[in-house]
A = this chain, B = another copy of it.
Amino acid sequence: MPNISQRACMMPSSPIRKLYPLAEAAEARGTKIYRLNIGQPDLPSPDEGLDAMRHIDRRVLEYSPSDGFRSLREKLTGYYDQYQIKVSADDIIITTGGSEAVLFAFMACLNPGDEIIVPEPAYANYMAFAISAGAVIRPITTSIDEGFALPSVDEFERLITPRTRGIMICNPNNPTGYLYTRKEMNRIRDLVAKYDLFLFSDEVYREFIYTGSPYISACHLEGIEQNVVLIDSVSKRYSECGIRIGALITKNRELRNAVMKFCQARLSPPLIGQIIAEASLDAPRSYSIHTYEEYIERRNCLIDGLNRIDGVYSPIPMGAFYTVARLPIDDSDRFCEWCLREFSYDGATIMMAPASGFYSDPDKGHDEVRISYTLKKEDLRHAIFLLGKALEAYPGNTMHKQRQ
C-alpha cells in the first residue's frame, strides 16, 4: 500500500470537527447539545436568494465562467462601494467559498518554504491552506489580557526573514472578535510597504462590527494597492455558508492572471450559488439591520453571562460572532471532550471549540475556548448556565485545586 504525502501528514485535523463523533454519541444517548462551536449562523438566508433559486428557469445546469458571472461581479462593486472599497468587476474573481480564495491566494503567491506572518489565535484553516502551498506560518501571538490587540511593530520585524512573503489577517477576527484599529492597520501597511509583502486580508465579517470604531479594510490602505489580496464570502453576511460563494479581490493584475490559471483548472465556481448570491445582494436594508441587532443582543447576553461565571473571563469582542474566553481549566481539549463525553445537566450539555486549535504553538490556548453566538438568546442563556454547571463539576477545574 503506497504511503500518503508528507503534506497530508502535516495537515491539521479540524479542531472542531474532531469532536463530532463525541457529539453524535452524546445525542445517541439522548443528550441535547447546545452548539457553541460553530460559525454557521442560524438566521434565515434572505428571501431574495431563496426565491431566485426556486425560480431558476434553466434547462441545463451548465458551467459558468471560471471567474464567475460578470453580472455578479458588477453588482458586487456596488456593494463594496458602500464600504468605500473602490474596485471594478475586473478586480473580482468569484471563488468556491472564501476557503478557495485563501487557497488560491497562497498557491499563486507562495513558494514552498516561504513564510507568512499570522496573528494568533487564528482561523485554523489558514494553516491547512499554507501547508497545501508548502508555506510556513510564523505566528505572532496576541493575548487575551490585551484584548487580542496587535503586538508592536518591533515584534513583527523580529519575525521577518528573507523568506517572509506576506501577512495574513482576519478583520474583524475569527476567533477573537477583535477589530483592528486605524493605527494598527497603518502599522501593517507600513510593514507591507517596507518589506514588499503580500497582505492577505480576510474580511468576511465586515457586517458584524459592534463598536463606533471605523472598519478599516486592507483596501483602504494607500500605497500598497498592488500588495493587497482581499478575501470575501457571502456565507456569513447572508447566512449562506452552504452555497460556497466567495471572492478573491486584488488590483494586482499579474496576480489575478496567476489566480485565474487555478480557477480555470477547476473550471467554474458553483452555478446555483452564484445566482443565489447575486439575488441576495437585493436583500433590503431591514435584513441586515435585523441580523445586526440580533447579534448585538446575543453578544451582550453571552459576554455578560460568561463574565459572571466564577473564574471565567471574556474580553468584549468588537466584531464577528465569536469570542475567545478564558476558563479555569487544566486543558481545553480535555474539557470540551469531557463536556460531550461525561457531562450533562437535565439531559443537556454544550459543545465548544478548544482554542488550542487556533494556535500553532502547542503550549497556547489550553485554558481558552472559542464560543460562537450563533444561537438564539434563550439558548445562549441556557448554554451559559450549563457551562457554569460543567465547570463546577469538571475534575480539572483549576479553582477547585486552589480551594483544596
Contact = CB atoms under 8 A, between A and B. Distances in A.
Contacts of A265: 11, 14, 99, 103, 125, 128-129, 132
Contacts of A259: 8
Interface string A144-174: 0000000000000000000001100000000
Nearest to A15: B264
Contact of A11 (B62, B258, B267): B258
A242 B61 contact: yes
A66 interface: yes
Interface stretch (A109-117, A209-217, A313-321, A335-343): A109-117
A64 interface: yes
A61 B226 contact: no
Contacts of A54: 53-56
A255 B1 CA distance: 10
B111 A5 contact: yes
Interface in A266-296: 266-273, 276
A45 B63 CA distance: 12
Contacts of A258: 4-5, 8-9, 11
A97 interface: yes
Nearest to A96: B96
Count copies of this chain in the complex: 2
A125 B262 CA distance: 9
A178 interface: no
Interface stretch (A35-43, A360-368, A396-404): A35-43
A345 to B, nearest CB: 27
A84 interface: no
Contacts of A300: none
Contact of A5 (B40, B109, B125): B109
A348 interface: no
A99 B9 CA distance: 22
Interface string A1-17: 11011111101111001
Given A109-B4, A112-B112, A272-B53, A134 B132 contact: no
Contacts of A261: 8, 11-14, 128
A100 interface: yes
A351 interface: no
Given A60-B45, A60-B239, A227 B125 contact: no
A253 to B, nearest CB: 10
Given A5-B258, A265-B129, A242 B63 contact: yes
A242 B109 contact: no
B266 A243 contact: no
Interface in A343-388: none
Contacts of A4: 108-109, 254-255, 258
A240 interface: yes
Interface of A: 1-2, 4-9, 11-14, 17, 40-45, 49-50, 53-56, 58-64, 66, 96-97, 99-100, 103, 107-112, 114, 125, 128-129, 132-134, 165-166, 196-198, 226-227, 239-244, 252, 254-255, 258-259, 261-262, 264-273, 276
29 contacts: A1-B196, A1-B252, A2-B227, A4-B108, A4-B254, A4-B255, A4-B258, A5-B114, A8-B259, A8-B262, A13-B264, A14-B264, A14-B265, A17-B264, A45-B59, A45-B61, A50-B56, A53-B272, A54-B54, A63-B241, A97-B266, A125-B266, A125-B267, A132-B262, A242-B272, A243-B270, A244-B268, A244-B269, A270-B272
